C-alpha cells in the first residue's frame, strides 16, 4: 500500500482544513470482488468519496473540495449508515451521480449481512425502495451500468428482467462473470455472491 503526500482540503461548509492522503497503490492480491461491486480487502482501508467533516460534522464529497491554506487540520470520519440514509433523503428525487453513489453504497451495506452468512434475502421497505430507485437512476449507457441493473433486478427477484438485461452485455464483460450471474438467475437465487475470476463461484452461504 502506498499513500500520496499529505494534503489539506477545505470543508465546503465551515472552511475548516481536513487532512487527506490519497491511496496511490494497493496490494490487490487479497481483494475479493462481490457481485454488487463491493470489494472486500482486509489489507486496504476503504477510501470513501463522501465523509463527515471533523470540524462541523457536515457531509462533504472529498474529490470536490478545494485545497486549504492552513495546516491546522483534523481528520474526517466515515459516515454512519443512518447518515447515508439521511443524506440520500436530502437529494430528494434529483437524478445525480451523488444520489446514485449513495444508493449503491446503501445497497452494498444491506448486502453485508449476506456476506456474513445470513442466507435468506429479506429487504426492509427502505432497502427495497432504494434498489428500485437505483434502477431508475441508471441510464444503462455502459456495460457496467447494465450489469448493475442486472444484479439489482436479480436481487429484487426480477429474474426475467435480469436475464433480458444480461444478454445486452454479452461480449463486453468477462465471460466467467456472465456465467456466474446467469447460473444464479436460472436458479432464481437473489443472493449477493463473491465473484471468482476462473468462473467458479466463491463463498456460498447455504440456504
Ligand atoms: Zn466542516
Domain edges within the chain: 2-78, 81-186
pLDDT for the residue numbered 120: 85
CA distances in angstroms from 44 to 11, 25, 108, 160, listed in the order given: 25, 10, 17, 37
- Calculate how far, in angstroms, residue 101's C-alpha sits from the geometric centre of ligand 1: 21
**pLDDT band, residue 203 (cuts 50/70/90):** very low
**pLDDT band, residue 6 (cuts 50/70/90):** confident
Q: Give the integer Cα–Cα distance in Å for 137 and 180.
A: 25
- Calculate how far, in angstroms, residue 69's C-alpha sits from the geometric centre of ligand 1: 15
% of the chain beyond a pLDDT of 70: 92
With beta carbons less than 8 A apart as the criterion, state whether 56 and 14 touch.
yes
Residues around ligand 1, an ion, CB closer than 5 A:
11, 13-14, 16, 53, 55-56, 58
Higher pLDDT, 78 or 41: 78
Classified by CATH at the fold level, domain 81-186 comes out as: 1.25.40
Average pLDDT, integer, range 157-181: 95
Average pLDDT, integer, range 113-124: 86
Four-residue CA torsion sign, 64, 66, 67, 70? negative
CA distances in angstroms from 107 to 39, 167, 192, listed in the order given: 13, 23, 10
Amino acid at each position: 500500500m502506498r499513500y500520496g503526500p499529505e494534503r489539506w482540503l477545505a470543508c465546503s461548509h465551515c472552511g475548516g482544513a481536513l487532512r487527506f492522503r490519497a491511496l496511490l497503490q494497493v496490494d490487490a492480491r487479497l481483494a475479493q470482488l462481490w457481485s454488487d461491486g463491493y470489494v472486500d480487502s482486509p489489507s486496504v482501508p476503504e477510501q470513501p468519496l463522501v465523509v463527515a467533516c471533523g470540524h462541523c460534522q457536515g457531509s462533504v464529497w472529498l474529490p470536490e473540495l478545494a485545497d486549504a491554506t492552513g495546516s491546522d487540520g483534523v481528520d474526517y470520519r466515515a459516515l454512519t449508515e443512518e447518515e447515508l440514509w439521511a443524506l440520500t433523503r436530502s437529494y430528494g428525487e434529483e437524478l445525480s451521480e451523488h444520489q446514485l453513489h449513495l444508493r449503491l453504497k446503501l445497497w452494498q451495506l444491506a448486502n453485508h449481512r449476506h456476506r456474513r452468512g445470513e442466507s435468506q434475502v429479506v429487504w426492509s421497505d427502505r432497502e427495497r425502495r432504494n434498489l428500485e430507485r437505483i434502477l431508475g437512476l441508471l441510464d444503462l449507457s455502459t456495460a457496467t451500468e447494465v450489469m448493475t441493473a442486472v444484479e439489482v433486478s436479480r436481487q429484487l427477484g426480477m429474474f426475467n428482467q435480469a436475464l433480458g438485461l444480461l444478454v445486452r452485455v454479452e461480449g463486453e464483460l468477462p465471460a466467467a462473470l456472465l456465467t456466474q450471474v446467469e447460473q444464479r438467475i436460472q436458479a432464481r437465487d437473489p443472493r449477493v455472491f463473491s465473484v471468482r475470476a476462473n468462473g467458479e463461484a466463491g463463498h456460498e452461504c447455504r440456504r
